[in-house]
């Protein structure tokens, strides 16, 4: 697919990392190391084209991010918004719960507002 997408919004000592359409990869790890974000927003659902690997975070990718950045609040979005997603919101929530991550890793419902600070 090409180079990873994403960006960081900083204000004072607070950083939000919007990972964009990417999977867990060296560039994401480097961004987490460099910016130490307080909040990470991931596009999840394991979307993929008819051929090839996932183009957004899969459940194992989300778990990798959560475990790699244990101090960050993680939001998993973009679920069920495209017809080529292979994982549902319920599956992502269940994986987070079974790994003890539900407290700091949130999968918002459609239209739900999340207060970060």
CATH of the domain at 44: 3.60.15.10
**Taking the CA of residue 12 as centre, how many other CA atoms within 13 Å lie in the half-sphere pointing to its CB?**
3
Is residue 1 included in any domain, yes or no? no
Task: Please indicate, yes or no, if residue 14 is contained in any of the structural domains.
Answer: yes
pLDDT at 111 over 90: no
Instruction: Output phi, psi for 9, to 5 deg.
Output: -110, 125
The count of domains in the chain is 1
**Residue 29 sits in which domain range?**
7-106
For residue 1, pLDDT over 60 is answered with no
Q: Is residue 114 part of a domain?
A: no
- The fraction of the chain above a pLDDT of 70, given in percent, is 85
- Asked whether residue 11 is assigned to any structural domain, the reply reads yes
Residue 112 domain flag = no
pLDDT at 8 over 90: yes
- Express each pLDDT in 23-66 by its tens digit: 899 999 999 999 999 999 998 876 667 776 776 789 999 999 99
């Amino acid at each position: 697919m090409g180079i990873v997408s994403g960006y960081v919004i900083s204000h004072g000592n607070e950083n939000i990392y919007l990972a964009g359409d990417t999977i867990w990869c060296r560039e994401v790890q480097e961004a987490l190391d460099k910016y130490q974000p307080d909040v990470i927003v991931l596009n999840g659902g394991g979307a993929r084209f008819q051929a090839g690997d996932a183009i957004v975070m899969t459940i194992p990718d989300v778990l990798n991010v959560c475990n790699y950045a244990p101090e960050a609040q993680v939001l998993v979005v973009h679920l069920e918004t495209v017809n080529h997603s292979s994982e549902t919101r319920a599956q992502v929530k269940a994986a987070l719960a079974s790994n003890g991550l539900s407290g700091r890793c949130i999968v918002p419902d459609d239209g739900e507002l999340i207060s970060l600070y």
